[in-house]
């Protein structure tokens, strides 16, 4: 992921980017006109190349507006995807999913490696207070909003079943996006209290959400299915998943640290093998890949001296992968679905943003956090992405009576949060003066003295 952007670009440079983007779209449109509906290997390669180039070019253009690069990647995917211009077909997007698997592994490894024990200890009290309040107040308040709003797919439900669905919605509402958080931090190279808090909170919240999902399903089932009894079996499998993921992640981290110390050669190959091969093994074992890789990165950073070298290797590997990951995520967004559900989605996302901001400020005051966290601690908490959709899909599979409508509304809400959240996070980092790679205006670039040659 681009770390700093091309700050010396003038109007001419931006114009060339715009022209190149237009030519790229025209070529892709011509290709789809000549061979409509083609789904061979060439279509996948073309989709991969197009999303990479279009995402990169559009990220440079949206930078002028102060938007993060990943917004450009997302918008490129949305515009070119199967729901808008149809330049990239749904089948091609599906066949690019292995890239997403690799990207998630790299994101988790990088996220864990960015968590340093010394910095975590400094902000531990604030982090714990924020996690507790965002989890329990977040679920409670969003369940109340859902109960009162009563979306169309729960019409006809009596109070108790509706309460069960509302509790499940509360869990979806507290999910965050590690990929969006790391993407913005990578571009801005932000350092400071807000950046440290953001990283620690978003990564830790993933573990909390897994626990809360199992709890919510266990509590909601008796409310939704008369005759069902409260069962603790879900917590047994949850404990197996979490303990197994942490144990395997610790082992993997120690192995990676030893490899980096002894050799460290061909690290690109090792990371790719982990992203693809290890992920499949973890799924087979019913372990959580995101948690496993995050623990592995944490171990490399804090139990060895190879942390900085490890992060540098991930950044070199992930640059291209992240562009395709976010662009294909944009292509996956179901725009017609958002159009159908926009009133409900707008209400629920607006309420979620209000609850998130209010609780963030309350928790920061109670924990006496740094001023930047008190003011902008909500910044990284708006974004949602694959974790929320995954949880909604699990709930839909567990409760088919209302599952389809639940998942559709969740996807519509995630679409809004995915587009707006990263922008708000970057604005928060910029205003907190923690961004190390601020984006100057074009006029600034025009007036800047030429760089000294080296």
| 15 has a pLDDT exceeding 90 | no
Read off the pLDDT band of 144 (50, 70, 90): very high
User: How many CA within 13 A on the CB side of residue 362?
Assistant: 12
| Residue predicted with more confidence, 391 or 353 | 353
Bigger pLDDT: 182 vs 424: 424
What's the rounded mean pLDDT across residues 87-99?
81
Does the structure show a pLDDT above 70 at 9?
no
Which residue has 């070298």 as its token pair? 309
pLDDT in tens, 340-359: 778 888 999 999 999 999 99
Lowest mean pLDDT segment, chosen from 21-30, 234-243, 403-412: 234-243
Looking at 128-137, 235-244, 258-267, 292-301, which range is the least confident one? 235-244
Calculate the dihedral angle through the C-alpha atoms of 355, 359, 362, 367, rounding to the nearest 10 degrees: -170
- Residue 410, token pair as written in the block: 């969740």
Res 132 pLDDT > 90: yes
Q: pLDDT band for 85, please (50, 70, 90 cuts).
A: confident
- Give the separation between CA 424 and CA 305, rounded to whole angstroms: 34
Assigned token pair, 152: 């169309």
Question: 269-284 b/e with 16+ CB inside 10 Å = b?
Answer: ebbbebbeebbeebee
What span, in angstroms and rounded, lies between the C-alpha atoms of 224 and 307? 48
Query: Are the CB atoms for 175 and 138 separated by under 8 Å?
Result: no
Cβ(124)–Cβ(373) under 8 Å? no
> Contact 388/175 with Cβ under 8 angstroms?
yes
| Banded pLDDT at 65 (limits 50, 70, 90) | confident
Distance CA 389, CA 380 (A): 18
pLDDT number for residue 142: 96
Tokens 């490129």 — which residue? 76
Per-residue pLDDT reduced to its tens digit, 108-123: 888 788 778 877 777 7
Highest mean pLDDT among 32-36, 265-269, 273-277, 319-323: 273-277
Query: 230 falls in which pLDDT band (50, 70, 90)?
Result: low
Indicate if the pLDDT at residue 128 is higher than 80: yes
Distance CA 361, CA 39 (A): 50
Mean pLDDT of the residues in the chain: 82
d(CA 425, CA 198): 9
Under 8 Å between Cβ of 351 and 416: no
The model's confidence at residue 4, banded by pLDDT at 50, 70 and 90, is very low
The DSSP annotation for 46-74 comes to HHHHHHHHHHHHHHHHHGGGT--HHHHHH
Would you kindly state where each structural domain of the chain is located, as residue ranges?
11-95, 100-431
**b/e burial code for range 204-237 (CB count within 10 A of at least 16 → b):** bbbbbbbbbbbbbbbebbebbeeeeeeeeeeeee
Tokens of 45: 């390669």
Residue 222: pLDDT band (50, 70, 90) is: confident
| pLDDT band at residue 63 using 50, 70 and 90 as cut-offs | confident
Highest averaged pLDDT of the listed ranges 17-21, 96-100, 216-220, 246-250: 246-250
pLDDT at position 421 over 80: yes
pLDDT of residue 66: 74
| Rounded percentage of the chain residues whose pLDDT exceeds 70 | 90
Q: Give the length of the chain.
A: 454
Q: How buried is 347 (Cβ within 10 angstroms: 0-12 exposed, 13-18 middle, 19+ buried)?
A: middle
* Alpha carbons 202 and 37: distance in angstroms, whole number: 40
Calpha distance 378→238 (Å, rounded): 29
pLDDT at 445: 38
Segment 175-221, tens digit of pLDDT: 988 888 888 888 888 888 999 899 889 888 877 887 888 888 888 88
| pLDDT number for residue 450 | 39
CATH of domain 100-431: 1.20.1530.20
Tokens of 291: 């948690």
Average pLDDT over residues 308-330: 80
Under the banding of pLDDT at 50, 70 and 90, the label for residue 366 is: very high
């Amino acid at each position: 992921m681009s770390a700093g952007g091309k700050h010396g670009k003038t109007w001419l440079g931006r114009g060339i980017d715009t022209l190149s983007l237009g030519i790229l779209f025209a070529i892709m449109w011509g290709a789809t006109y000549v061979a409509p509906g083609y789904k061979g290997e060439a279509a996948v390669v073309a989709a991969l190349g197009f999303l990479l180039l279009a995402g990169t070019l559009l990220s440079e253009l949206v930078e002028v507006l102060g938007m993060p690069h990943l917004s450009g990647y997302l918008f490129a995917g949305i515009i070119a995807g199967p729901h808008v211009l149809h330049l990239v077909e749904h089948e091609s997007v599906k066949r690019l999913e292995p890239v997403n698997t690799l990207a998630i592994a790299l994101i988790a490894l990088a996220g864990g490696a960015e968590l340093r024990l010394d910095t975590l200890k400094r902000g531990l009290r604030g982090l714990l207070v924020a996690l507790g309040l965002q989890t329990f107040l977040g679920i409670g308040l969003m369940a109340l909003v859902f109960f009162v709003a009563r979306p169309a797919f729960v019409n006809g439900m009596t109070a108790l079943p509706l309460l069960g669905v509302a509790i499940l919605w509360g869990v979806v509402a507290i999910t965050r996006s590690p990929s969006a958080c790391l993407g913005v931090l990578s571009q801005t190279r932000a350092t400071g209290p807000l950046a440290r808090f953001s990283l620690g909170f978003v990564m830790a919240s993933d573990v909390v959400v897994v626990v809360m999902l199992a709890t919510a399903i266990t509590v909601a089932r008796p409310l939704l299915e008369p005759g069902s009894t409260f069962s603790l079996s879900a917590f047994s499998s949850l404990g197996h998943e979490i303990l197994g993921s942490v144990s395997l992640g610790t082992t993997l981290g120690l192995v990676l640290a030893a490899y980096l110390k002894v050799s460290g050669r061909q690290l690109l190959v090792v990371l790719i093998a982990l992203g693809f091969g290890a992920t499949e093994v973890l799924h087979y074992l019913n372990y959580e890949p995101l948690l496993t890789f995050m623990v592995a990165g944490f171990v490399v950073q804090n139990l060895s001296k190879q942390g900085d070298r490890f992060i540098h290797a991930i950044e070199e590997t992930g640059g291209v992968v992240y562009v395709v990951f976010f662009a294909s995520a944009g292509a996956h967004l179901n725009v017609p679905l958002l159009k159908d559900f926009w009133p409900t989605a707008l209400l629920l996302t607006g309420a979620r943003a209000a609850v998130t901001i209010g609780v963030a400020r309350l928790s920061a005051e109670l924990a006496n956090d740094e001023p930047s966290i008190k003011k902008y601690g909500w910044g990284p908490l708006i974004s949602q992405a694959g974790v929320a959709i995954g949880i909604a899909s699990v709930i839909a599979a567990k409760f088919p009576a209302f599952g389809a409508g639940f998942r559709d509304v969740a996807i519509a809400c995630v679409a809004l949060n995915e587009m707006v959240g990263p922008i708000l996070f970057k604005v928060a980092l910029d205003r907190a003066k923690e961004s190390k790679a601020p984006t100057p205006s074009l006029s600034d670039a025009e007036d800047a003295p030429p760089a000294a040659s080296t």
